[in-house]
């Protein structure tokens, strides 16, 4: 694999940073230790400016090239937060925080972007400015939205932005990408059904919320099978079902269900929300009860821009010799907020034959570090070339 020699030299150091971050996972916006470590290293590398507290606990570093004739600014983004999972890898550098672990590889993303930042600070072989973005709360908190809402794109005049995620099952260091919709919109459901509770031996005197909610759970699947165009991709998953009573002989007054809806287009998203409300309210009314639907539009569809995707794929081929077409992913990614504000692209880098992300036995593969660092560095040097 043709990688930059500097990253081969730095590999052990970058892996050590990654393992240190892995031992100290932090959830959502609570990335205080990680953010401080990132800021400290960026300053030590000689970044021209380092700003903390963007998007609450995000960190931004600014690196100016040897020239600025282009006037262009490229953003590179990595996520820093961990997941509320108890680690079961058995590695010597396993999480020291019970119930929290880097089960998605954000420790690797952060370490790789730190490695790229050190290299770019040392060499500055580009015409323009690089903004390295270290984001908290990708795992459900919307840290990307918070950083954008803090005015990050305008404050540093970012023209394009690029992101990367490791991908288990893909050969180590090999890349995949696709233009257009890539990761799904991820909406959240909280639905409360209320009827009339009572004794389980006298159901005729009650309005049975358990029966009501059970019918709704089944009927919600008709959105996918009977409302959506079969070509569209929609997932409706109910993941929690909780009654207001735990007794054997009580029909509960209330039932709450929760879940998620994943879609790949604004039209499908609108349809799904409309039908969730209609189905739940209609089922509740049929049984004589009521349904209160909280449909929370969370992350939007993450859409790669065509020109930047083609460029990112060309850079990947220059690093690893290949770049495949990635599949559509029904998981969410809040890099979507940055791509709504600026053109850019998001790419996958292979993590090898490892456990899948969000699994207690997952671990980021340190062998992917040179490829990931090289891709980020080449994005800058090829997009902002110095005049010969």
Pairing type for strands 129-135 and 290-299 reads unpaired
Rounded Cα distance between 334 and 6, Å, is 31
Would you call 140 exposed, middle or buried from its count of C-beta atoms within 10 A (0-12, 13-18, 19+)?
Answer: middle
Rounded Cα distance between 147 and 136, Å, is 9
| pLDDT surpassing 80 at residue 177 | yes
Q: What is the pLDDT of residue 142?
A: 97
| pLDDT surpassing 80 at residue 3 | no
DSSP E strand stretches across 264-314: 290-299, 302-304
Q: What would the pLDDT profile of 300-345 be if each residue is shown by its tens digit?
A: 999 999 999 999 999 999 999 999 999 999 999 999 999 999 999 9
Domain ranges of the chain: 5-181+301-383, 185-299
Q: What would the pLDDT profile of 285-305 be if each residue is shown by its tens digit?
A: 999 999 999 999 999 999 999
Q: What is the CATH number of domain 185-299?
A: 3.30.70.360
- Tell me: is residue 358 an annotated ligand-binding position: yes
Would you call 286 exposed, middle or buried from its count of C-beta atoms within 10 A (0-12, 13-18, 19+)?
Answer: exposed
Rounded Cα distance between 114 and 274, Å, is 44
| pLDDT surpassing 90 at residue 388 | no
Q: Beta-carbon neighbour count of residue 219 at 10 Å?
A: 15
Rounded Cα distance between 274 and 24, Å, is 42
Q: What would the pLDDT profile of 19-74 be if each residue is shown by its tens digit?
A: 999 999 999 999 999 999 999 999 999 999 999 999 999 999 999 999 999 999 99
- Tell me: is residue 106 an annotated ligand-binding position: yes
Q: Which residues of 57-67 are buried (b: 16+ CB within 10 A; e: fewer)?
A: bbbbbbbbbee
- Domain 5-181+301-383: CATH class, spelled out: alpha beta
| pLDDT surpassing 50 at residue 1 | no
Q: What is the pLDDT of residue 371?
A: 97
Rounded Cα distance between 291 and 197, Å, is 15
Cross-strand pairs, 294: 190
| Of 59, 99, 98, nearest in space to 79 by CA | 59
Q: What would the pLDDT profile of 203-241 be if each residue is shown by its tens digit?
A: 999 999 999 999 999 999 999 999 999 989 999 999 999
Q: What is the pLDDT of residue 316?
A: 98
| 7 touches 370 (CB < 8 A) | yes
Pairing type for strands 129-135 and 73-79 reads parallel
Task: Identify the band that residue 4 occupies on the pLDDT scale cut at 50, 70 and 90.
Answer: confident
| Of 345, 285, 273, nearest in space to 310 by CA | 345
Q: For the chain, what is the mean pLDDT?
A: 97
Task: Identify the band that residue 167 occupies on the pLDDT scale cut at 50, 70 and 90.
Answer: very high
Rounded Cα distance between 385 and 388, Å, is 9
- Tell me: is residue 165 an annotated ligand-binding position: yes
Cross-strand pairs, 291: 193
């Amino acid at each position: 694999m043709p990688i930059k020699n500097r990253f081969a030299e730095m590999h052990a150091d970058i892996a050590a940073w990654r393992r240190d971050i892995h031992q100290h996972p932090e959830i959502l916006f609570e990335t205080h230790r990680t953010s401080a470590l990132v800021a400290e290293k960026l300053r030590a590398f000689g970044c021209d400016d380092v700003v903390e507290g963007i998007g609450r606990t995000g960190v931004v570093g600014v690196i100016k090239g040897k020239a600025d004739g282009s006037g262009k600014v490229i953003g590179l983004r990595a996520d820093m937060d961990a997941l509320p999972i108890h680690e079961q890898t058995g590695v010597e550098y396993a999480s020291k925080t019970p119930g929290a672990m880097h089960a998605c590889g954000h420790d690797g993303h952060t370490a790789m972007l730190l490695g790229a930042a050190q290299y770019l600070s040392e060499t500055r072989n580009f015409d323009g400015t690089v903004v390295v973005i270290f984001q908290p709360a990708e795992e459900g908190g919307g840290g990307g939205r918070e950083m954008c809402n803090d005015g990050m794109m305008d404050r540093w005049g970012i023209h394009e932005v690029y992101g990367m995620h490791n991908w288990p099952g893909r050969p180590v260091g090999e890349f995949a990408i696709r233009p257009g919709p890539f990761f799904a919109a991820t909406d959240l459901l909280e639905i409360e059904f209320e009827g009339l509770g009572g004794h389980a031996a006298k159901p005729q005197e009650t309005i049975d919320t358990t029966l009501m909610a059970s019918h709704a759970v089944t009927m919600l699947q008709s959105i996918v099978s009977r409302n959506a165009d079969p070509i569209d991709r929609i997932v409706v998953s109910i993941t929690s079902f909780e009654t207001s009573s735990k007794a054997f002989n009580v029909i509960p007054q209330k039932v709450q269900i929760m879940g998620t809806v994943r879609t790949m287009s604004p039209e499908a998203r609108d349809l799904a929300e409309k039908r969730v409300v209609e189905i739940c309210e209609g089922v509740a009314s049929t049984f004589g009860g009521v349904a209160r639907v909280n449909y929370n539009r969370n992350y939007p569809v993450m859409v790669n821009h065509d020109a930047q995707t083609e460029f990112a794929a060309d850079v990947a081929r220059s690093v690893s010799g290949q770049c495949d077409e990635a599949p559509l992913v029904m998981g969410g990614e809040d890099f979507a907020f940055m791509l709504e504000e600026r053109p850019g692209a998001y790419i996958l880098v292979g993590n090898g034959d490892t456990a899948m992300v969000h699994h207690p036995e997952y671990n980021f593969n340190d062998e992917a570090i040179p490829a990931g660092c090289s891709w980020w560095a080449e994005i800058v040097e090829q997009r902002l070339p110095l005049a010969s």
